[in-house]
Amino acid sequence: KAGVTQTPRYLIKTRGQQVTLSCSPISGHRSVSWYQQTPGQGLQFLFEYFSETQRNKGNFPGRFSGRQFSNSRSEMNVSTLELGDSALYLCASSPSSGTGGGEQFFGPGTRLTVL
Amino acid sequence: DAKTTQPTSMDCAEGRAANLPCNHSTISGNEYVYWYRQIHSQGPQYIIHGLKNNETNEMASLIITEDRKSSTLILPHATLRDTAVYYCIVRVAEAAGNKLTFGGGTRVLVKP
């Protein structure tokens, strides 16, 4: 079975621009979660989508948004980029949400650099 | 979810067992202990989880104390490829969603 894939792997943007990151979960997995990893804050939960609905949201500003498609693929969007948005963005998939959802499979991440 | 405390870093010798402690003194009865690791520049990898019994899989063993206030992840024969940051996470069994709360983790360096 193919693992979680994320595209692009690397991205360079400038302040004020917006960016869209993509995640394809493992086949059959319906839950996709997004995390941001920075040296200062570590790994932080952004949001989770399950069956095209947002289930949970972390403590991030509204500039961070996401969606999930009927095939479970997910995208996250960051608008009006700031320097502090430079980070590794990780996507994780799981067959279920809630009970049993603790075992998640992470993708390799997208490294975003904001100049 | 309960807070966890882990040592910041530890070294271990290749071929020896690596014992990674985690303190979760405020854990509730319905919270599982999960372990993940993150090898440099890769996404975290699930290792093992448990509720109150000891667990073992092909990667590691998880020993949870009887009072459940602490646990130890054991890598039986550490290799250089086990060098990574190891995260101990406590998560409610019937959580409303899949959110994982990562702490700082333990940076493990396996030395030849």
- B87-92: average pLDDT: 92
pLDDT averaged over chain B? 93
CB atoms within 10 A of CB B111: 11
**Residue B41: is its pLDDT beyond 90?**
no
Strand pairing category for A31-38 and A87-94:
antiparallel
Q: Which one of A104, A105, A111 would you mutate to disrupt binding with B, by most B Cβ within 10 Å of its Cβ?
A: A104
Q: Which one of A30, A43, A44, A94 would you mutate to disrupt binding with B, by most B Cβ within 10 Å of its Cβ?
A: A43
Query: Which residues in A lie closer than 8 A to residue B103 (C-beta atoms)?
Result: 42
Measured CA to CA, the distance from residue B73 to residue B18 in angstroms comes to 8
What pLDDT score does B53 carry? 87
What pLDDT score does B29 carry? 87
Measured CA to CA, the distance from residue B94 to residue B97 in angstroms comes to 8
* CB-based contact A103 B49, cutoff 8 Å: yes
* Selection from B7, B77, B1, B6 nearest residue B32 by Cα: B1
Query: Which residues in B lie closer than 8 A to residue A44 (C-beta atoms)?
Result: 102
Q: Using pLDDT thresholds of 50, 70 and 90, give the confidence band for residue B94.
A: confident
Q: Using pLDDT thresholds of 50, 70 and 90, give the confidence band for residue A18.
A: very high
* CB-based contact B100 A42, cutoff 8 Å: no
- Flag the least confident range among A17-21, A34-38, A93-97: A93-97
**Chain B residues 38-97 with a CB less than 8 Å from chain A:** 41-46, 49, 87, 89, 91, 93-97
What pLDDT score does B89 carry? 94
- Range B63-98 burial, b when 16+ CB lie within 10 A, else e: bbeeebebbbbbbeebeeebbbbbbbbbbbeebebb
**Residue A101: is its pLDDT beyond 90?**
no
Phi, psi dihedrals of residue A48, rounded to the nearest 5°: -130, 140
- Pick A45's closest partner by Cβ from B41, B49, B101: B101
**Residue A73: is its pLDDT beyond 80?**
yes
What pLDDT score does B1 carry? 65
**Residue B2: is its pLDDT beyond 80?**
no
- A81-98: average pLDDT: 94
Nearest chain A residue to B105 by CA: give it: A42
Give the DSSP letter of residue A85. Answer: G
Measured CA to CA, the distance from residue B84 to residue B51 in angstroms comes to 24
Query: Which residues in B lie closer than 8 A to residue A54 (C-beta atoms)?
Result: none
Q: Which two tokens stand for residue B52?
A: 């109150």
What pLDDT score does A98 carry? 80
- A34-39: average pLDDT: 96
**Residue B81: is its pLDDT beyond 70?**
yes
**Residue A27: is its pLDDT beyond 90?**
yes
Whether the CB-CB separation of B9 and B105 falls below 8 Å is answered with: no
Whether the CB-CB separation of A94 and A54 falls below 8 Å is answered with: no
